[in-house]
């Protein structure tokens, strides 16, 4: 086991001997604690949920510093092969079933049942007033999701050519060939071609799949879902709605998340 950084030891002290569930950020901690409490009341007291500050910190900690801890990562733009590769690093490392934690707050069907009856009555007791503007905004955000994925892939591919980093290359003709290929791979036409292909794949998904695992859940929640909720029910922004959705009629963990929670709970002593 590698020498631990100070933040890992700080978490260990705060955990007071409890098993540690490591997540990326503060919102992940808030919502996973909420969903654990809703799924199995009291189970949230059996472990300490801690913030690592990013995907790499969670992964490195569980695979290297504290292999006895449990880690949960956002899915983000990862494809299934990426998810499998990350999960293969440790049997105690899990990936969310949706894009990110806010993606569990984006499906109008799931939001609707968490709204108090008096709020539903304000729109005639019909989900259409909530669902339609969210669905209308979806095509643009699917396109955004396609471009997000393509740019992330190009970001990985656009690093300085390894042929020039790993060993000396003094032949300028060879250097030019490498740099030309590198430049052509980043040309607008190459990016657009990959974007069109990715967008076609995205448009083949169901609306539910798009909402839950394709669009950027955090951005969509903040820029679309919150605006719709505010306009319909006179809310006061993203934080206000997150509190309300954990309130008197709290949003419950959906089946795809309860399966993951059960796997985590099965690891506890």
Confidence of residue 167 (pLDDT cuts 50, 70, 90): confident
pLDDT for 21: 98
Does residue 244 fall inside a structural domain? no
Is 85 a residue whose pLDDT tops 80? yes
Is 164 a residue whose pLDDT tops 90? no
Structure tokens at 209: 């799949």
pLDDT tens digits, one per residue of 101-151: 999 999 999 999 999 888 899 999 999 999 999 999 999 999 999 999 998
State how far Cα 235 lies from the chain centre: 25
Does residue 229 fall inside a structural domain? yes
48-51 and 70-73: which strand pairing? unpaired
Percent of the chain with pLDDT over 70: 97
Q: Same structural domain for residues 216 and 115?
A: yes
Does residue 24 fall inside a structural domain? yes
For residue 71, which phi and psi values (nearest 5 degrees)? -125, 140
Does residue 221 fall inside a structural domain? yes
Number of structural domains (the chain) is 2
Give me the domain span that covers residue 73. Answer: 6-96+255-265
Q: Same structural domain for residues 74 and 44?
A: yes
Q: Same structural domain for residues 89 and 161?
A: no
Residue whose C-alpha is closest to residue 160's, from 195, 143, 185, 134: 185
Does residue 250 fall inside a structural domain? no
pLDDT for 235: 81
Query: Domain of 53: which CATH number?
Result: 3.40.50
Is 40 a residue whose pLDDT tops 70? yes
Q: Same structural domain for residues 126 and 224?
A: yes
| Report field, pTM of the whole predicted structure over 0.95 | no
The contacts found for 192-197 with CB under 8 angstroms, 24 or more apart, are 194/150, 194/153, 194/154, 195/146, 195/147, 195/150
Task: Report d(CA 265, CA 86) in Å as an integer.
Answer: 20
């Amino acid at each position: 086991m590698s020498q631990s950084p100070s933040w890992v030891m700080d978490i260990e002290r705060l955990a007071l001997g409890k098993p540690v569930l490591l997540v990326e950020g503060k919102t992940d901690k808030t919502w996973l604690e909420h969903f654990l409490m809703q799924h199995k009341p009291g189970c949230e007291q059996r472990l300490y949920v801690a913030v690592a500050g990013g995907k790499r910190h969670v992964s490195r900690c569980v695979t290297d510093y504290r292999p006895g801890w449990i880690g949960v990562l956002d899915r983000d733009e990862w494809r299934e092969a990426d998810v499998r590769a990350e999960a293969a690093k440790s049997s105690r490392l899990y990936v969310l079933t949706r894009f990110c934690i806010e993606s569990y707050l984006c499906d109008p069907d799931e939001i609707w049942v968490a709204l108090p009856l008096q709020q539903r009555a304000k729109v005639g007791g019909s989900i259409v007033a909530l669902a339609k503007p969210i669905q209308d905004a979806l095509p643009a955000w699917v396109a955004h999701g396609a471009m997000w994925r393509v740019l992330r892939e190009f970001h990985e591919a656009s690093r300085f050519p390894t042929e020039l980093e790993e060993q000396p290359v003094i032949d300028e003709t060879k250097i030019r060939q490498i740099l030309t290929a590198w430049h052509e791979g980043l040309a607008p036409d190459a990016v657009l071609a990959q974007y069109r292909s990715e967008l076609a794949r995205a448009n083949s998904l169901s609306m539910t799949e798009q909402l839950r695992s394709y669009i950027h859940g955090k951005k969509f929640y903040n820029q679309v879902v919150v605006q719709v909720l505010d306009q319909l029910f006179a809310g006061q922004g993203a934080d206000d709605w997150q509190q309300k959705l954990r309130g008197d009629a709290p949003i419950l963990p959906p089946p795809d998340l309860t399966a993951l929670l059960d796997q985590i709970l099965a690891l506890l002593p």
